[in-house]
Amino acid sequence: MTRREPFGIVAVFATPGALESAARQLRALGFDSVEACTPYPVEDVGRSLHPGRNVLLPLLVMAAAVVGLAWGYFVQYWDAALDYPIDVGGRPYHSWPAFAVTTVETAALFAVAAAFFGLLASCRLPRLYHPIFEAAGFERASRDRFVLSVAAKDPGFEPNLIRRVLQRHGAERVEEVAGWR
């Protein structure tokens, strides 16, 4: 295993409001690697840290649905019209209305699967270890505390300035965290 490296500064707040104002000020000071970990989605924080719309995931799901649609139809066409044609009362082998139902089901399955795996990929999960887990009090970010972090890889990383900003906004605890790569 490689050595421990500085991860950044991690602050714990008691309310989403305090975290939000601290995050906004840090962003205004030019820090890019600011991230918040909260027990539930806090809309204002999300909007100020990650402005813009989430377009990639919906597009991925749409694309998967189209692929599912095509695949679902093709399999039935291959089955009933090409490879294993059975004459049922003279009905056409390529009976598209009968294929419609399962085509839609396949498209839905592909869409939901793309959404599921897209979520994991976009959140970089599964990742059982993350340096932020080393921060004291981080375990409460999944229930009643709001955690803000500024990564050390930020080009203008200035520990003292960041520390002051975080404390001014009422952080309960500010800590420099190092973790395994």
Partner 1 sequence: MTVAADPMVPPGNPPVVRPGLGLTSLSVEISSRVLSPRAPGWWWIGFGAGLALLLVLAVAVAWLFVNGIGVWGVNIPVAWGLAIAEYVWWIALASGGTIVSALFYLTRSPWRAATNRIAESMLLCAAASAGILPILHLGRPGLFYWLFVYPNTMDLWPQARSPLWWDFIALFCYILMSLMFYYVGLLPDLATVRDLATTRGKQVFYAVLALGWRGSARDWRNHKTVYAIMAAVMTPMVVSVHSIVGLDFAGGLTLGWHSTQFPPYFFFGAVISGTALVIVLTIFVRWGYGLYDLITGYHLNALGKVMLVGSLLLAYAYIWEAWGPFYGGDAAERTEFIDRISGFTAWQYWATIILDVAVPQLLWLPAVRASPTALASIAAGVMVGMWLERFVLVVASLHRNYMPAEWGDYVPTIWDWGIFAGSIGLFLTLFLLLLRFLPAVSLAEMRELIDKAAE
Q: Which residues here bind partner 1, judged by CB under 8 A?
A: 16, 35-42, 45-46, 49-50, 54, 57-58, 61, 75-76, 79-80, 83-84, 86, 88, 91, 95, 98-99, 101-102, 104-106, 108-109, 111-113, 115-116, 118-120, 122-123, 125-130, 132-133, 139-144
Select 86 or 160, whichever has its Cβ closest to partner 1.
86
- The Cα 115–Cα 100 span in angstroms is 23
Select 98 or 178, whichever has its Cβ closest to partner 1.
98
Q: Whole-number minimum distance, CB 14 to partner 1, in Å? A: 10
Q: Whole-number minimum distance, CB 96 to partner 1, in Å? A: 10
Q: Whole-number minimum distance, CB 162 to partner 1, in Å? A: 17
Q: How far is CA 163 from the centre of its chain?
A: 28
Cα within 13 Å of Cα(74), Cβ side:
7
Note whether 162 and 6 are within 8 A (CB): no
Q: Whole-number minimum distance, CB 2 to partner 1, in Å? A: 19
Residues with Cβ within 8 Å of 168's Cβ and at least 6 positions away in sequence, in order, are 22
